Amino acid sequence: MDPAAAADSLAALELLNDILAQVDGDHGSAEFYSRLAEAVCRQGHMRRAVIFRYDDARRRVHAAGAHGIGLDQFTSGEITVESAPVARQALTEDRVIEVLGKAGHAISNDFAELVGEHPIVYVPIVAAGRWIGVIIAEPEHGAAPIDEHRRDLLWMLGKTLALASTSRIATTHGARARELEERIDFARGIHEGVVQRLFGVSLVLSSEQPLNAQARARCAQEVGAALGELRSALQRPLGRSAVPTGTTLKAELARLRSEHPDLGLTVEGPVVEVPEPLEALAQSVLTEAVRNARKHADARRLVVRTHASDDTLVLEIENDGVPHERTASTGVGLRLAALEALQSGGLVEFGERDQGTWVVRLVVPLAGNGGIG
């Protein structure tokens, strides 16, 4: 192997080792991906770079990290592979593509500042055919077009980031598997404890023989023990927890207004400050309500209201356009959001309020969730 290529390969392996060492300790943060963007610039001789990836929590593509350019420049625009056809080509063909002029990018106006008149390199982040993201980087000023050696190096860096991302995905799947195991243990515990005790009591009570004092005392003891076991079991988590998103309800409202202009999304009154432990839950309910409005109604008006007292946070989303004969059932998303709310001691209500109007309402206590308690 060429000494230069060997040195670059070793540097890529060292970068991979550094990434994997941080997988468990820094989930999904902009700082983490910005460090990766910096490493790509350092190893690939780039002036600046932005890493775009699909986020399961936000359920959309977003700018995950950047180096040499402000990340906040990419938070308002809608990002899809259609926004950057060259990025789509790089992902489809799994190869590094360099575009030397602005005209060849056909990129949306949201990213015009990134493109400019200078060359841009698109590096796919692909693992086993799965599109994880894209690195869009600008070479150093005056640099010659990338040769085959640098192209291979950048492709290897993309694979390195893909491996790191799949490691994070595996970690997430492992956590979900543990959560499922906890649910199974929960059901087994209810069956082996509460159900069996109550079944024994039912057999005694269904007997035609009269109960003596000892039998009544034993039944009372078993019912009391069953209630105690049930109370202990219900203190365990009943459903999934909302995944942290790294953004705020106010910012998410601004994004949704820009992404869905046809919904007529408006906010009545100021957006209250949501405690950090409840941000993911509030955003999850909002996202599901918007998705529900688009899927099950011909909505032209969507109103969001927020209210907070000393002990309660209320988020209400109301949309019009509900069919007179609503045949489609409520999506699973709202039901899962209701389970998420239970984790924080709250509840999610949804249904048709007036004819043609659908309302989703989150009510959750602030005490114990970062509010005043």
Asked whether 338 and 347 are in contact (CB, 8 A), the reply is: yes
> Residue 235 has what pLDDT?
60
Q: Average pLDDT, whole number, for the chain?
A: 78
> Residue 75 has what pLDDT?
63
pLDDT at 187 over 80: no
pLDDT digits (tens, 9 = 90+) for 134-166: 888 888 877 778 888 888 888 888 887 887 777
Please tell me the total number of residues recorded for the chain in this structure.
373
* Secondary structure class of 298 (helix, strand, coil): coil
> Residue 115 has what pLDDT?
62
Q: Is the dihedral of CA 200, 205, 209, 211 positive or negative?
A: positive
pLDDT digits (tens, 9 = 90+) for 278-305: 998 999 899 889 988 888 888 899 999 9
**Phi/psi at 22 (5° precision):** -105, 0
> Residue 23 has what pLDDT?
47
pLDDT digits (tens, 9 = 90+) for 226-281: 888 877 776 665 555 666 777 899 989 988 888 888 888 999 999 999 998 899 89
Asked whether 115 and 105 are in contact (CB, 8 A), the reply is: yes
Q: Where are the domains of the chain?
A: 3-173, 182-234, 249-365
Q: DSSP H helical segments within the chain, as ranges?
A: 3-21, 30-44, 85-93, 112-115, 148-189, 196-206, 213-234, 249-259, 276-296, 332-343
pTM over 0.75: no
CB atoms within 10 A of CB 28: 18
Helix (H) or strand (E) holding 154: helix 148-189
Asked whether 49 and 74 are in contact (CB, 8 A), the reply is: no
pLDDT digits (tens, 9 = 90+) for 27-76: 456 777 888 888 888 888 888 888 888 776 666 777 788 888 887 777 65
* CATH architecture assigned to 3-173: 2-Layer Sandwich (3.30)
> Can you identify the CATH homologous superfamily of domain 249-365?
Histidine kinase-like ATPase, C-terminal domain (3.30.565.10)
Write down the residue that tokens 């007529």 correspond to: 264
R_g over Cα of the chain: 27
Asked whether 130 and 92 are in contact (CB, 8 A), the reply is: no
Helix (H) or strand (E) holding 178: helix 148-189
First-residue to last-residue Cα distance in the chain: 65
pLDDT at 327 over 70: no
